[in-house]
Amino acid sequence: MNVRDLLALLRAPVCAGRLGLLRAAVALGEAGKTGPARPVLRATWAPGISVVIPERGTPVLLKRALVHLRAALARIAEPWEVIVVVNGEPARTYADLRASFPEVRWLFHEQALGFGGALERGLAAARFGGVYLHNSDMALEDNALGTLLPWRAAHVFAIASQIFFDDPQKRREETGWGDLRLRAGRAELFDRTPEPGGLVRGGLYAGGGSSLFDAALLKCFAAGTRSYAPFYWEDVDWGVQAWRNGLEVLFHPGSVAWHRHRATISRCYPADEVERIVARNGVLFELRNFPVEWPLLQRAARADNATTKELAARTSLAEIRTVRQARRRVPFPNIDVERTTRRYYGHPATPDGRPLVLVVSPSIDLPRQDDDARHTWRLCEELRDHCRYILLSDELEARVLSDTERIGSFESVHLVGERLEGSMDRGGRSLSRERAAAELDRLLAVHRPDWVQVACSDPLARRIGNRFVSKTRGRALARVVCQVHETARVRRYESFDSRRLFSW
């Protein structure tokens, strides 16, 4: 028996042992009593922006990135800093750049750290409340940063820029609008193509190479993703943890970055090793975040020796246990990760003293097509200077909401329904109502509205409590607004036919 045959013979029990460790980590993560759910997390967004750039051996690309970044930073009024984390390359390689860009803070590490390691060093040095993660192979347009800043809010974890490839002939497989689909229990990442019109949308995650993050939350989430080293999938995990903890991730198509695809990674890793790491981290992501079934364990067991060894490493096992245990206490453990993009944002949240009204409608066309929708639209339009509005509807993308005019006065629109048109069977209606109820619970906890206007008398209304404004209490909302805002324009709602206005 030669050495190759002997190694093949020994591999089966070794893989079985590693598979047993993974199963034990999952089981330990699911064990124990479930305590009370933690409150939703809130972003602080202290003033200022820290731009963190992990860098390894691409000084020409880095110079291009810094030139464009300097122009983008010149257009914001807040304090800022740029931190370049050079790893695996000697400092002398960057002597000319250090002289040309004296405003940059340079951190040098002789050993290669990978994306996660370089990010950890950069975050430790960052001083400001927002962190823009910037790859050295990206080039920002002048307004890329200034466009993102107004969208910071307590419920927002991150805001992603739109990505275009430098090569116009290359198929546009990366846009910055990250999403995920589950096929046969397997997670597949893909980037959605933004629609015309430029509306800000919800996204599953913000990419780690061209996105703005709340610094405190990013440090918290990044500390639990070291096992993804050296690169890929860690930013997806941050997004999932954010949504489960009551935060939202946005995609802003008006903030643009130009990308030279894999210009850094391809220099340091052969293509087959890159693909192996991507596949390994996909399995790791599922082990951390989704129910573990036999096909997933089979994929882990059939992987090559390096992959199974890395999956069963101490750091990986510990993080699997920790993440699965934490999921048992997050506010929204079962949030639908395939539907995070079904949110439209008309304008930034502006907590300026106006009451926030959550409008819950089982069916609404935007723009207004039927009588009920016109009544809703008229109310929101007339009171938009005195109230802030968000909308929850179970009519899934009833129309393509492609611009801010169609959103009207709503800060955001959240769609949860099953079908575009036609009747649904009982099972479809039940699922639609279940998803609407879950999203209502999330919006109440995350956005904390002052009033809720419900367009139906079903179990959704019982979830709201004293903030419920039914169609019979429609005049009450107008009266409260009149008392708060003593203007002639609003006072006329005292005599307005509120029964018609609220009769949904």
Q: Are residues 304 and 353 in the same domain?
A: no
Q: Would you state the pLDDT for residue 432?
A: 67
Residue 277 lies inside a defined structural domain of this protein: yes
What is the tens place of the pLDDT at every residue in 97-153? 999 999 999 999 999 998 999 999 999 999 999 999 999 999 999 999 999 999 999
Residue 127 lies inside a defined structural domain of this protein: yes
Residue 270 lies inside a defined structural domain of this protein: yes
Q: Are residues 217 and 347 in the same domain?
A: no
Is the CB of residue 321 less than 8 Å from the CB of residue 21?
A: no
Structural domain boundaries enclosing 405: 343-501
Is the CB of residue 434 less than 8 Å from the CB of residue 412?
A: no
Residue 34 lies inside a defined structural domain of this protein: no
For helices 271-289 and 314-327, angle between their N-to-C axes, nearest 10 degrees: 40
pTM over 0.85: yes
Instruction: Provide the sign of the torsion angle of the four alpha carbons 210, 214, 215, 219, taken in this order.
Output: negative
Residue 305 lies inside a defined structural domain of this protein: yes
Q: Residues 6 or more apart from 110 whose CB is under 8 A from it?
A: 87, 88, 90
Q: Are residues 299 and 243 in the same domain?
A: yes
Residue 99 lies inside a defined structural domain of this protein: yes
Residue 170: give its domain's CATH number. Answer: 3.90.550.10
Say which amino acid occupies 315: T
146 C-beta neighbours (distance < 10 Å), count: 16
Q: Would you state the pLDDT for residue 170?
A: 78
- Total number of domains constituting the chain: 2
Q: Which phi and psi (to 5°) does residue 388 adopt? A: -105, 145
Q: Are residues 276 and 371 in the same domain?
A: no
Q: Would you state the pLDDT for residue 261?
A: 66
- Could you say which residues of the chain have pLDDT below 70? 1-14, 32-33, 261-264, 266, 362-374, 376, 395-406, 418-432, 455-504
Q: How long, in residues, is the chain?
A: 504
Q: Which phi and psi (to 5°) does residue 83 adopt? A: -120, 120
What is the tens place of the pLDDT at every residue in 10-57? 355 667 788 888 888 988 888 866 777 889 999 999 999 999 999 998
Q: Are residues 309 and 434 in the same domain?
A: no
Is the CB of residue 297 less than 8 Å from the CB of residue 4?
A: no
The rounded distance, in Å, linking the Cα atoms of 54 and 36 is 39
The rounded distance, in Å, linking the Cα atoms of 401 and 405 is 9
For helices 294-302 and 271-289, angle between their N-to-C axes, nearest 10 degrees: 150
Q: Would you state the pLDDT for residue 501?
A: 29
Q: Are residues 286 and 369 in the same domain?
A: no
Q: Would you state the pLDDT for residue 459?
A: 54
Residue 24 lies inside a defined structural domain of this protein: no
Residue 430: give its domain's CATH number. Answer: 3.40.50
Q: Are residues 128 and 260 in the same domain?
A: yes
Q: Are residues 315 and 377 in the same domain?
A: no
Is the CB of residue 311 less than 8 Å from the CB of residue 300?
A: yes
DSSP 114: H
Give the Å distances, CA to CA, from 137 to 54, 86, 132, 476.
10, 14, 14, 56
Q: Are residues 404 and 322 in the same domain?
A: no
Q: Would you state the pLDDT for residue 485?
A: 37
Residue 492 lies inside a defined structural domain of this protein: yes
Q: Are residues 391 and 485 in the same domain?
A: yes
> Of 120, 94, 308, nearest to 230 (Cα)?
120
> Of 382, 352, 379, nearest to 453 (Cα)?
379
Residue 292 tokens, joined = 């573990």
The rounded distance, in Å, linking the Cα atoms of 468 and 380 is 17
Q: Find the helix or strand (DSSP H, E) in which 190 lies.
A: strand 186-191
